[in-house]
Structure 1
């Protein structure tokens, strides 16, 4: 088995695609409208789906927002320099909601950003995880 993708429902597909491509540096891999079901799927990622996991954004044409609930946590991205990544994300209009630094009770260096729909994205500085 291989991890294929994670799906998030979004209220404004263009806004979300812009965030994940221009702020987090993902590539739009594919996009398809399903008129009979009144929804659109967009797949984004850091490499081809044949070898890399993707993020699936689902846009239901008749829904502008979702109640995130309290069960969802976050997706995580590894970065080489978390401080530079957060600076770049903020400069691109992204919202850093937890500044970079060691996690509580450990030495893994993390930060959190928030996407336009309120989903959390954890950044983990590579080489520090697991501590």
Structure 2
């Protein structure tokens, strides 16, 4: 068994695709419209769906925003250098909500940014 994907509902599909490709450096892997259900699915990731866990963005036609609630936490992405990643992502238009630095109860370097729909993404430094 393996985790295939995580699905996020988004209010503006192109804005979200641009964020995940331009700010986070993912590739758009596939896109499919479902006219009978009035939704579009876009899969993005750093590797192919057959080899890696990917992100599924679901756009329900005509729905511009969602209430996120309090149950979902964040998506975590490992990066070689959290400080450099923050600068690169900020320069690409990303919004950093927790600057790079050691986590509260440990020494792992982390940071957080937020996507256009308010979902949080944690950046975690690679272990030496």
Aligned to 1:34: 34
Which blocks of at least 5 consecutive residues in structure 2 are unaligned?
none
- Structure 1 residue aligned with 2:46: 46
Say what the alpha-carbon RMSD is for the aligned residues: 0.7
Deviation at 1:5, TM superposition (A): 0.2
How far 1:62 sits from its partner (Å)? 1.9
Alignment of 1:91-106 (within 5 A): 91-106=91-106
Aligned twin of 1:70? 70
Question: Displacement, 1:105?
Answer: 1.1
CA distance in 1, matches of 2:81, 2:64: 35
Structure 1: where are the runs of 5+ without partners? none
How far apart in 1 are the matches of 2:114 and 2:18? 13
Task: Give the match's secondary structure for 1:19.
Answer: helix
Q: Tell me, what secondary structure is at the counterpart of 2:55?
A: strand
Alignment correspondent of 2:8: 8
Corresponding residue of 1:84: 84
Give aligned pairs, total: 128
User: What TM-score does the superposition give when structure 2 sets the normalisation length?
Assistant: 0.99
1:25-57 Cα shifts (integer Å, max 9, x gaps): 000000000001000000000010111000000
- Structure 1 stretches (4+) deviating beyond 6 angstroms? none
Distance 1:110 1:83 in 2: 9
